[in-house]
A and B are shown apart, each in its own frame.
Chain A
Amino acid sequence: MNLNKVVLSFLFVCATVGFAQKPETNKDSVFVQNLDEVIVTATRTIRQMSSLPLPVTLINKKQLQQTGVTRLDQILREQTGVILTPDATTGGGEGVQMQGIASDYILVLIDGVPVVGRSSGNLDLSRFAIGNVKQIEVVRGPSSSLFGSEALGGVINIITEKPTKEIFSGEVSHRTATFNNQNTNISLSQRAKNFGYSIFVDRLSTDGYDLTPDEEGQTVDPFFNYTFNGRVYYDLDDKWKFFASGRYFFQEFDVASGASEEKDANAQLKIDHKVSDKSNFQYELYYTNYITDENSIDVDSGELLLENDFNQKLLRPEIRYNLTFKENKTLTIGGGYNFEVLTRSLFSDKVTFDSQYLYAQYDFKPLETLNVIVGARFDHHSEYNSQLSPKISAKYDITPSFAIKGSVGSGFKAPDFRQLYLDFTNAVGGGYSVFGKEVEEEGIQRLQDNGEIANLQVSPDELGERLDAESSIGYNLGFVYKKGKLSSELNFFRNDFKNLIDTRILASKTNGQNVFGYINRESVYTQGLEVDIKYMPFPNFDLSAGYQLLYAYDKDKEADIENGDVYARDPETLQTVSLSKSDYFGLENRSRHTINFKIFKEIPAWNANANLRVVYRSKFGMADRNGNDILDTFDNSFVDGYALVNLTFAKTFYRNFQLQVGATNLFDYKGSNPLAASGTEVLINPGRQLFTKLNIKF
């Protein structure tokens, strides 16, 4: 797929969609924000999106509807500065990447509370049905000053829709797509004076797909999942407002032998207490439980090969207090307690975490044209060293249409359960062992007692030393220009990470395999710029373009290269050569350039709309293949740049019936995965997916 082809096709679509224009005014736009569009994720208070001193993206209901997407990953991948990257392993999930920061370091919230349940650090975003979502808020850059762990690269907050209509109303929709992908959802809601409720049910099933046509088995096995969500709103009076929400997700894969199930449940209770016009409390109680049950069974013998069960629970009470004194001065204080429990078949014991946190934020305007937000959060944790995460951000309006905004903030990510408690010996894979930090000392001791250790490769004093949280400092400097139908933003970013947790060899075993442990070691940086331009040249015609330039490198590796200590093997002679700086490609799975380009067109006379979205990412490398632990030009693991083109047409009939047809990856890009063994074919993308969606409102 080359870009020229994409651009040509794009122009063609513009022409076909564009001929039926009529000078009708449009009330709102897909991109250019309304004045009343607000966002809560950036400050935990309701803030007008355009006034925020941080880089934020808002995906509104209209964009969600017009693109015809039904899962969170599908819409996020079209946003500037957001990339969905495949897991390192073929057939693994996809992870979201922002500002070059991997999925492990990006926090995902539903209505302000975190979802848990990651597999190797990746949170599977296709788990989240977005049929009942009002908007998706994306804050880029570290936000641990408000949200604590995991908010290094940014925060994605899915905001569900509140019932607005007095009468019983709802929507039913069904989307059918390639790979026998069937997605049905029903959403019902009603509001009566001080009481409201909404119910959402979603079912998705698919035959899955295969990226490895030569190999037995499928990359993604057939599966089905259900999402249930019920929400209740009750306003006792002007002062007390209650909100309760329950969500349950169940997914089952149809694997050839064995079973694979995933369950995700959340319950949230929130009480708003308005003490006065100037101050209010929010009391929130949140519980979530994430369970996976996996086992694989030998088809012939019926023997259990691998059992991997995972059960994580989080209970979190939190209190927030907002005080507005004078105009434009808001103090927010919050505190909470996390109780976390995890049982996993690869851990020796049940694991519990306790952590407490406090945060404060002061949002003020020292000048009419200057907004400053300062904040900090302190997290105390039972298993690793405490963290203080400050952040300062400011926005200065030079003219009403031109502003500068900047922020410096810190982020951290707690060592995960695996890094602390894993106690795993892979009998199938040759007998290597992996120990989490908290169990490595006794694990090594156990192996030594059994005579399985050949030699210890680290000093015994180092065993069991506490891990630090991984941490980062992020800098953002942005320029915003908005005038009339044009809105543009340029943001420079730099993120410095330290104490990233890496694996290291603790000992070699007498069977020739290794014992691995975890250590704080790596320091990396990501830097670059993001450009976002939105333009409405005519009524009902929205254009947007986004670009991200990214440099992401490991600092230690850069220093090693400078010292001439990094080598590779020449692919011709297979002999060692010394690498120079220009040979270092940077971190895995990072594209230097990513571009998105979107056109949304409405044709009110036909009750129709159409849109075209193009997403391009430049060449990226998947893994080090020549054993020097960096991605270099001698690694044969690069995927050439490619563009995906997505297209949707919609027409509304009889007011309430809407039919959408569209294509994801219209030009059927499949790519080829360089990591495949020779003679086999492994694809990057399953190819074109066509869909039809019928939506009925009542």
Chain B
Amino acid sequence: MKTTLKLFSLLFIFTAFVSCSDDDGDSASEFVITEVSPTSATVGAEIVITGTDFPTDTSDISLTFNGVEATIVSATSTQIVATIPSGATTGELVLVANGYTKSYPTDFTVLSDLISETVSNLEAPQTGGQGEAVGGPFTKFSFESGAVTDSDTDWDIAFRGTTIAVNGGTATGTEDEPVRNGDAGVSIESGVFSDITSAEGLTFAQDSEGAFAIATGSDNGWYNYNSATYTITPIPGKILVFRTHDGKYAKVEIISYYRDAPAEPDPFTDESRVYTFNYTYNPNEGDTALE
């Protein structure tokens, strides 16, 4: 009996100790995730998880994106801020804390990074002009590959002289134009390149019979022709926002129409019909972000 009592006392004390140590790691209550925002983002972006009963010590939290451990930036009992780790891929978002393991009901989408590049010296020759009928093949460009393409289908925009066609809409009727088989379109926006942050809410025009979506002629579309200096220069503040042939988005600022983008092109010595442009391409399906 005495031994039994001692054992019970020991057990009590042990239990009490164990309980105490449990208390040290906050209460053992079950946390709840109410929202993850956003549910898609690129590597390095911060996401915010809101809910209740989160541990407040970041080292007590384990968060994984499809199995890849994330760095917790801050934590309160109702909000965890974390950055998406490199190597993360789209999949389950799993939070482990207080001995509980929970995965968010919807998969977290890890977006591909926006691609910002400069295309230099894209040649866009044409035949004719100066009153003669304009002809010759267009130079097709794909944002996905970031390069000129010969593909009849996987192109987004195409250049010939000052004319830019989109792979969407119908034939305009000009000689030698490529067949449009995608859903590309363009919206010409005003602003500084970095200020155009999204394609959300824009209306995209497509080529149609007799008219390119990017209107031809000086001061109509993307360029000005200066009759005093005989130069073609992009209209400042015109940012071309494209929907690609497969429904993604890109923005373009044309930098120059002359080889090697001279600051002061000389129409008599600098080769023209050679484009240099900056673009930002969002490779993620359905994502309109451009910055």
Contact = CB atoms under 8 A, between A and B. Distances in A.
Contacts of A627: 219, 223-224, 226, 233-236
Contact of A505 (B190, B220, B235, B255): B220
Interface string A572-609: 11111110000000000000000000000000000000
B210 A454 contact: yes
Interface range on chain B: under 10, 10 to 19, 20 to 34, or 35 or more?
35 or more
B226 A625 contact: yes
Interface in A307-351: none
A381 interface: no
A445 interface: no
Given A430-B131, A567-B192, A575-B255, A505 B234 contact: no
A431 B218 CA distance: 12
B236 A568 contact: yes
A257 interface: no
Interface in B255-272: 255-256, 261, 263-264, 266-269
A620 B227 CA distance: 20
Contact of B229 (A457, A568, A576, A625): A625
A510 B210 contact: yes
A431 B234 contact: no
Contacts of B269: 678-679
Contacts of A513: 217
Interface string A506-550: 001111111000000000000000000000000000000000000
Interface string B36-61: 00000000000000000000000000
Interface string B188-203: 0011110000000000
B62 to A, nearest CB: 44
Contacts of B255: 573-575
Contacts of A571: 263
Nearest to A675: B228
Nearest to A636: B264
A454 B211 contact: yes
A455 interface: yes
B239 interface: yes
A677 interface: yes
Given A572-B263, A575-B253, A675-B229, A566 B237 contact: yes
B242 to A, nearest CB: 17
Contacts of A568: 236
Contacts of A89: 228
B176 to A, nearest CB: 15
Interface in A647-698: 675, 677-679
Given A429-B227, A512-B163, A626-B236, A455 B130 contact: no
Given A565-B190, A677-B266, A454 B216 contact: yes
Nearest to A567: B237
A626 to B, nearest CB: 6
A397 B95 CA distance: 91
Interface of B is mostly: loop
Interface residues of A, number: 40
A577 B134 contact: no
Among A429, A457, A510, A574, residue most surrounded by chain B Cβ atoms (within 10 Å): A574
A431 B131 contact: yes
Contacts of B134: 512
A427 interface: yes
A577 B217 contact: no
Nearest to A509: B217
B162 interface: yes
B81 interface: no
B278 interface: yes
A180 interface: no
Contacts of A678: 264, 266, 269
Interface of A is mostly: loop
A84 interface: no
B215 interface: yes
Contacts of B215: 455, 457, 508
A623 interface: yes
Contacts of A567: 190-192, 236-237
A88 interface: yes
B237 A427 contact: no
Contacts of A509: 217
B130 A430 contact: yes
Nearest to A504: B219
Nearest to B237: A567
Nearest to A627: B224
B192 A578 contact: yes
A156 B250 CA distance: 59
Contacts of B224: 627
Contacts of A455: 210-211, 215
A568 B261 CA distance: 16
A575 B255 CA distance: 6
A626 B266 contact: no
A111 to B, nearest CB: 38
A41 B104 CA distance: 89
A427 B216 CA distance: 18
Contacts of A508: 211, 215-217, 220
Nearest to A632: B236
Nearest to A453: B210
A628 interface: yes
A574 B276 CA distance: 10
A76 to B, nearest CB: 26
A619 interface: no
A628 B190 CA distance: 12
A511 B131 contact: yes
A502 to B, nearest CB: 12
Nearest to B132: A511
Nearest to B216: A512
A574 B261 contact: yes
A386 to B, nearest CB: 34
Contact of B235 (A427, A572, A628, A677): A628
A576 B267 contact: no
B236 A88 contact: no
A283 B46 CA distance: 88
A569 interface: yes
A457 B220 contact: yes
A508 B256 CA distance: 23
A196 B194 CA distance: 78
A427 B131 contact: yes
A517 to B, nearest CB: 14
Among A88, A508, A511, A576, residue most surrounded by chain B Cβ atoms (within 10 Å): A576
Interface in A402-442: 427, 429-431
Interface string A88-115: 1100000000000000000000000000
Among A430, A454, A513, A568, residue most surrounded by chain B Cβ atoms (within 10 Å): A454
B66 to A, nearest CB: 38
Contact of B237 (A572, A576, A623): A576
B238 to A, nearest CB: 8
A505 B233 contact: no
Among B217, B253, B261, residue most surrounded by chain A Cβ atoms (within 10 Å): B217
Contacts of B278: 575
A626 B192 contact: no
Contacts of B276: 574
Top 10 closest A-B pairs, CB basis?
A: A567-B237, A627-B224, A567-B236, A574-B255, A512-B216, A508-B217, A678-B266, A514-B217, A628-B236, A569-B236
15 contacts: A430-B131, A455-B210, A455-B215, A505-B217, A510-B210, A512-B134, A512-B217, A566-B237, A567-B191, A571-B263, A574-B263, A576-B192, A576-B236, A576-B239, A628-B235
Given A574-B276, A677-B230, 8 more contacts: A508-B217, A512-B134, A512-B162, A565-B237, A576-B237, A577-B236, A578-B237, A628-B236
